[in-house]
Amino acid sequence: MYFYAARQPILDINKKLYAYELLFRDSINNVFPDIDGDIATSKMVEASKFNMGISDFTANKPAFINFTLETLSKGYPEMLSPEEVVVEILETIKPGKRLLALCKDLFEKGYTLALDDYEHQTVWEHFYPYIKIIKIDWQNSTLDEIKEIIAAIANYPHIELLAEKVETYEEYNQAVELGCVLFQGFFFAKPEMMKTKTLTPSQMAMAELLYETSKPELDLAGITSVFERDVSLSYKLLRYANSAMFKRRSEISTIKQALVTLGLLELKRFMGLMFATNINPDKPSELINSAMARAKFCELAAENMNNNIDSSKAFLTGLLSLIDAILDEDIESVLAKLPLAKEIKDALLTHEGDMAQLIKLVEFIEHAQWDESVVTMETLGLTKDQVIKDYNDAISWADEQSEHMH
C-alpha cells in the first residue's frame, strides 16, 4: 500500500537535511481537517509501520508526525521507534496535566518531542524540560512574539527553535540571526538572488551532452568525444556504469563501452543528474534531491498518460524545473544558455501544456495542496492511486540515486 503523504524537508543551519515532516492525508479527496485527526494519525502510523516502512519514505531520517491528545493517549507514537519519529504536539491541544504526564513518559522512553506552531503561554514552561524542539510559524508570528519565546526558553538551552514556513532567503537569514537552528519551508527551492553566472567548461560539456541526448537519434561518436575531453566527467560515467544497478557481463574499459552498457534511456538520465548535481556544489543537497524526485515523477507519470509525451523529455523537464534555484538565476536567462529541445523550454517558460501541468502537479503534492492536485490529475487523465505510487517511487529512486552520486 502507498500512503498519501507529502514529505517536506527540515534543514539544519548548514542547509543539510535533518528530517522530513510527513503531511498525511487519508486520501487526496479526504483533506485532513475534515476527517478525525485520531483516525488520520493512526492510519499514518499503521501505513508507515506495516506497509511501506517509514524509513523508506524518509531516507532513514527522522519523520516529524503530528499527534492529537487522543493518539498520544493511545500510545501510537510508541508503534514507531524513537529513532524514526519526532512526536509533534499539535497546537490545538490544550496544555494540561494529562498531556504533561504523556510528554514526560515519552521523554523518559527516549522520544524527541516538538511543539508545533507554538504560541507562548506561561503554562507551557512546565513542559520545557521534556521538549527538544519548538516550531515557530514564520508567516503568522510577529517579531515581538518570537522574541517572547526566545526569552521564555532562555533557561532551557536544550530546546532548539525550528522556523517553519520560511519562504524566502531574507526570512531564513532573519531566523538564523534570531537563533533558529532548524528550518522548514520552500526558501531553498527558490533563487537566492539574481546574478549572472558563466558555466564552467565541465558544465558546458554537460549542457552539450544534455542537448545530444535529447535528439531522437543518438550520435555515439559525438557523445564519446565530449566525454573524452573531460576527465572528471569520464570518471563519473565509468563509476556510474560500474555500479551494481547494471548487470554487466564484463568490466568496462572504454568510454564507448560504458555508454553502450548504459543504453540511451539511462544515459539521458545520467547526464541530467550529472548536470544538476554538479552545477552548483554550494546548494543544499535536498534541492538537488527534490529536482531528481521531480524528474523521475514526470517520467513515470508521462508513461501512464494517454498522449505522446516522451518520458525522457518529461524526465529532463522535471529535473530542470528547479534549475533557477540551483543556479540562483532567473529561469529565462538559464534556459537561454542551454541547448534544449523547444518543448522543454516552453514547458518551463510558458507553464502551458501537459509537461508544464506535470510540474504543477508535483509542486502541489510537495506542498500538500491535495485539492489542487486532484484537479490537475483529472486534467491529465491520471488516477490518484497511480499518481501517489509514482510519487512514492520517485522519492525512493531519488534517495537511492543521491547515495550513488556522492
Confidence of residue 200 (pLDDT cuts 50, 70, 90): low
What are residue 230's phi and psi, to 5 degrees?
A: -130, 105
Class of domain 201-405: mainly alpha
Give the mean model confidence (pLDDT) for residues 240-268: 72
Residues 216-244: tens digit of each pLDDT: 677 888 888 777 777 767 777 777 776 65
Q: State how beta strands 4-12 and 17-25 pair.
A: antiparallel
Q: CA distances (Å), 34 to each of 199, 267, 293, 351, 388, in order?
A: 49, 46, 29, 32, 20
Inter-residue contact 48 to 58 (CB < 8 Å): no
pLDDT at position 312 over 80: no
**Per-residue confidence (pLDDT) for residue 90, from 0 to 100:** 85
Ranges of H-type helices in 51-168: 54-57, 69-73, 97-108, 143-152
For the chain, the domains span 4-188, 201-405
For the 4-188 domain, the top CATH level (class) is: alpha beta
The helix (H) or strand (E) run that includes residue 246 is: none
Please, which residues bridge with residue 86 across strands?
A: 64, 112
8 Å CB contact between 294 and 272? no
d(CA 115, CA 117): 7
pLDDT surpasses 70 at 27: no
Task: Name the least confident of 107-111, 214-218, 382-386.
Answer: 214-218
Strand partners, 22: 7
Summarize pLDDT for 161-177 with one digit per residue, the tens: 999 999 988 899 999 99
pLDDT number for residue 228: 72
Q: Mean pLDDT over residues 98-112, rounded?
A: 96
Q: Looking at the predicted structure, is the pLDDT value of residue 51 above 60?
A: no
Quickly list DSSP for 148-170.
HHHHHTTT-TT-EEEEES--SHH
Average pLDDT, the chain: 81
Coil/strand/helix, residue 240: helix
* Cell reading at 283: 546548494
Cα angle 64-66-68, degrees, rounded to a multiple of 5: 155
The set of cell numbers assigned to 59 is 531516507
H or E element at residue 380: helix 370-380
Take residue 340 and report the three cell numbers written for it.
534544449
Q: Which tens digit of pLDDT belongs to each residue from 327-343?
A: 777 888 878 877 677 88
Average pLDDT over residues 67-78: 83
- In the predicted model, what is the mean pLDDT of residues 377-390? 91
* Residue 138: its H or E element: none
The answer to pTM > 0.85 is no
Spatial separation of the C-alpha atoms in residues 54 and 44, rounded to whole Å: 9
The H helix count followed by the E strand count for the chain is 18, 8
